[in-house]
């Protein structure tokens, strides 16, 4: 099976530089899109890295979303609402 690539940044993109910049923003609000399927960030390594970085950034607020519309990659699935 060919791996599905969801994130396709330009070659010069340096994620570390973005994270360094986020650390200097007062009142930082993080918005995250959570997905499941062949590519998932709701458990495992991807989730652990995300949660760890949130602890370092100390954002004022974290807003979590899932997709409501069909995606360009059919294997990307909406996560179910966990309830409150």
Q: Is 76 helix (H, G, I), strand (E, B) or coil?
A: strand
**CB-count burial class (<10 Å; 0-12, 13-18, 19+) for 35:** buried
Domain region containing 78: 34-84
User: Model confidence over 32-70: pLDDT tens digits?
Assistant: 999 888 888 998 998 999 999 999 999 999 999 888 877
Helices 44-57 & 15-22 angle (0-180, nearest 10): 40
> How many CA atoms lie less than 13 Å away from 16 in the CB half-sphere?
0
Contact 33, 65 (CB under 8 A): yes
Is residue 17 included in any domain, yes or no? no
The model scores a pTM over 0.85: no
Residue 27 maps to a domain: no
Is 45 inside a domain boundary? yes
Q: How many domains does the chain have?
A: 1
């Amino acid at each position: 099976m060919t791996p599905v690539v969801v994130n396709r940044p330009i070659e010069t993109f340096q994620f570390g530089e973005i994270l360094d910049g986020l650390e200097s923003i007062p009142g930082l609000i993080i918005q995250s899109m959570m997905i499941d399927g062949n590519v998932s960030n709701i458990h495992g390594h991807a989730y652990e890295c995300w949660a760890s970085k949130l602890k370092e950034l100390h954002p004022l607020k974290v807003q979590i979303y899932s997709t409501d519309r069909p995606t360009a990659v059919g294997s990307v699935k909406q996560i179910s609402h966990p309830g409150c």
